[in-house]
Amino acid sequence: MGNIKDHKIVTLGSHTALQILKGAKEEGFETICICERGKEKPYISYGVADEIILVDKFADFFKIEQGIIDQKGIVIPHGSFVAYIGAEKVKNMEAMHYGTKGILEWESDRTKEREWLQNAKIKLPKVFESPDDIDRPVIIKFHGAHGGQGYFLANSPEEFYERYKEYQGDDDYAIQEYIVGVPVYSHYFYSRLNDELEVMGFDKRYESNADSIGRIAAKDQVDVGIRTTYTITGNVPIVLRESLLPMIFEIGQNVVDASRKLKGAEGGLFGPFCLEGIIDPQLNYYVFEISARIVAGTNPYVHGSPYTWLRYDEPMSTGRRIARDIKEAIESDNLQKVLG
Ligand code: AMP
Ligand code: AMP
């Protein structure tokens, strides 16, 4: 039987690191946090890291990777990996990596992501190939836009071209139907060890200034010329109407099943993932994105969510659930099953 003391849990100090490292310690692992110099304070203050490795920037991960390999560290990816290291480089990581690396390509390429979700029979917002086809409210998303900064809305081709003037030259964008409804982000966990899909919780994002515009009258918005932006600043927990849960389980399972057929991602998706979408007044759930890893929307649930509380008689964050998956894999000599 493998021993968890032979391994360390490692991640970058940002995004969901507090939760991941705390969860790993709760399961009995030693932890390493790689921090950008000057940004280590939270990881020291909250006592989640047994060791802190300082780098000038996260992209320097590869300079210290050998040390991680020597300690048999298992790296837990999160949103800052792709944002600061890049999907291609993450693929070339030689340290042990939790999750299927090939999935990253399907998640970070808009066309591939859509194909995957369509195969899973999920409702998606309509996509417009050309601005000239715009016949309803749409949201224009630039690919490089970190955390929803620099998106804009339009109602017609004329409005599109007027607003687009500010972005001339940046033609890496998508035009998506704007769904009027409430945002709901669904957090899942699928373990290969027991072949079971769990619903871990839900959140909505707290975005500046989209979430503050409603605080001032429409006339003031127009007078001051305020434009909607979606810069992520935090997350708000949600409990969903219970009768929506069967649908939530069904679409999550469809996504897992469809992932087994994705080229280059052999074995399919496992571990935490999230479907991000809008529920309209007819209770249709339109999914505009999938994150094939832990999302920051699980951060309110460091001590478990109402849903994990139903299933576990102990606090179970998504970070801890990952550590438990790894622990069970090590102790049943199946570690390869959770690495990719
Ligand atoms: P950060 O390390 O905070 O810069 O985040 C890395 C990536 O994850 C960025 O692309 C962010 O947009 C995304 N991200 C960070 N925090 C959150 C959050 N609370 N909710 C959703 N996305 C987030
Ligand atoms: P994203 O960067 O794709 O996660 O989108 C940022 C924010 O834009 C989301 O949290 C939503 O508030 C909003 N949003 C994105 N796509 C749509 C859509 N198709 N319809 C309505 N709102 C959307």
pLDDT digits (tens, 9 = 90+) for 55-78: 999 999 999 999 999 999 999 999
Question: pLDDT over 90 for what percent of the chain?
Answer: 85
Residues 16 and 75 occupy one common structural domain: yes
| Domain enclosing residue 78, as ranges | 4-97
Strand 230-238: give its sheet, edge to edge: 230-238, 196-209, 182-191, 271-279, 285-291
CA-closest residue to ligand 2 atom 12? 183
Residues 225 and 268 occupy one common structural domain: yes
Residues 201 and 266 occupy one common structural domain: yes
Query: Would you say residue 159 has pLDDT above 80?
Result: yes
Ligand 1 neighbours, Cβ below 6 Å, are 14-15, 79-80, 83, 146-147, 205, 232, 234-235, 296-297
The CATH code of the domain that includes 256 is: 3.30.470.20
Q: Is the pTM of this model over 0.75?
A: yes
Q: What is the pLDDT of residues 115-155, one digit of tens each?
A: 999 999 999 999 999 999 999 999 999 876 555 667 889 99
Q: Which atom of ligand 1 is nearest to the CA of 203?
A: 20
The token pair at 325 is 């998956």
pLDDT given at position 182: 97
Number of domains in the chain: 3
Stretch (H or E) spanning 334: none
Distance from the alpha carbon of residue 323 to the mean position of ligand 1, in angstroms: 21
Report the SS3 class of residue 183: strand
Does residue 334 lie in a domain region? no
Distance from the alpha carbon of residue 187 to the mean position of ligand 2, in angstroms: 17
Residues 52 and 70 occupy one common structural domain: yes
Query: Would you say residue 171 has pLDDT above 90?
Result: no
Residues 213 and 146 occupy one common structural domain: no
Residues 149 and 214 occupy one common structural domain: no
Residues 111 and 76 occupy one common structural domain: no
Residues 184 and 258 occupy one common structural domain: yes
From 179-188, 216-225, 330-339, the region with the lowest mean pLDDT? 216-225
Report the SS3 class of residue 168: coil
Residues 245 and 159 occupy one common structural domain: no
Residues 198 and 111 occupy one common structural domain: yes
